[in-house]
Amino acid sequence: MLGLNKGENKVENNSGSMDCMKLFCLPYAGGSATAFSKWKRGLDPRIELVPVELAGRGRRFREPFYPSLPDGVKDIFPFIREQNGDGEYSLFGHSMGTLYICELMNQICEHGWKKPRHLFLSGMYPPHIRDKKKIHHLPDDEFIQEIIQLGGTPKEVAENRELMQIFTPVLRGDYKNVENYLLEAAPEMWDINVTVLTGDDDDLVTADDISQWRAYTSESCTIVTLHGGHFFIHEEEEKVIEIINRTLTA
């Protein structure tokens, strides 16, 4: 079983209060906990930002990549349970991070653990949709070109071949896990309110894909379309934070 270096997943507390809502954030492919680092200053003081660091990147770059997405959940969920205790919490995932939430919910429902108050599913189609283009097996040059076309890669990184070669193994490992991910059983319908975020210029996710998230919850499913491509959470960061604040403090 993959081990979690608990010292490397650190909590960003906005308020210092033990009673505030914890928001655990899971990154996109190739991303690390720093993808959410700027959110701290914009989040309501009643919301405690907890970016989750996955193995093989950021502060955990020396640790091996996960063989599969469920292996990743086995690694990070003890951290989430330990950090949260019996308190209220919500989950935010973007792209790959959304699939991590799906697997987390599968495990939470199966074991009868405390459920999150709210789910934010961002920039991703539901896991039952399997007709998407697969790229993790492509040669390096083609794979890198596909990644650059998605956007989100800083220009100075995209134009630096050596840097891209450094990031490629992380990205390829993440894409392999995303593209091979299948829920082992039909997911139990969540009795949790869900907010689905999407970009109006995202080539990876269609409007029909997004609408199918409604089948995953028996509670409300609010779909919000923001301006931008696949990485609209950076382009529209202030609006994303505003949505989180309004939703969790209502």
Give 24-35 pLDDT, tens digit per residue: 999 999 999 999
Question: The domain that contains 226 carries what CATH number?
Answer: 3.40.50.1820
* Number of alpha carbons in the 13 Å side-chain half-sphere of residue 35: 29
Q: Which residues, 6+ apart, have CB-to-CB distance to 220 below 8 Å?
A: 193, 194
Is 154 inside a domain boundary? no
Helices 161-180 and 96-111 cross at an angle (nearest 10°) of 40
Under a CB-based contact definition with an 8 Å cutoff, are residues 27 and 54 in contact? Answer: yes
Is 112 inside a domain boundary? yes
pLDDT at 12: 45
Q: Identify the CA nearest to 121 among candidates 235, 216, 37.
A: 216
The overall average pLDDT reported for the chain is 88
Strand duo 193-199 + 89-94: pairing: unpaired
- Please tell me the total count of domains within the chain: 1
Q: What is the dihedral of CA 11, 198, 87, 188, to 10 degrees?
A: -130
Element (H, E) at 169: helix 161-180
Q: What are the backbone angles phi and psi of residue 24, rounded to the nearest 5°?
A: -85, 125
Residues that are catalytic: 95
- Report the alpha-carbon distance of residue 99 to residue 82 in Å, rounded: 21
Greater pLDDT, 11 or 142: 142
Look at residue 128 and give its three-state secondary structure.
Answer: coil
Distance of CA 161 to the CA centre of its chain: 27
Six-digit token string for 68: 């599969």
Is 241 inside a domain boundary? yes
Total-model pTM: 0.89
pLDDT at 249: 94
- Report the alpha-carbon distance of residue 115 to residue 173 in Å, rounded: 29
Span 171-205, pLDDT tens digits: 999 999 999 998 655 567 899 999 999 999 999 99
pLDDT above 60: residue 90: yes
Q: Identify the CA nearest to 28 among candidates 201, 242, 234.
A: 234
Is 158 inside a domain boundary? no
Is 155 inside a domain boundary? no
pLDDT above 60: residue 223: yes
Under a CB-based contact definition with an 8 Å cutoff, are residues 192 and 138 in contact? Answer: no
Domain that holds residue 113: 6-129+184-248
Give the lowest-confidence range in 2-6, 78-82, 92-96, 224-228. Answer: 2-6
Is 168 inside a domain boundary? no
pLDDT at 4: 35
Is 113 inside a domain boundary? yes
pLDDT above 60: residue 40: yes
Is 74 inside a domain boundary? yes
- Report the alpha-carbon distance of residue 89 to residue 31 in Å, rounded: 22
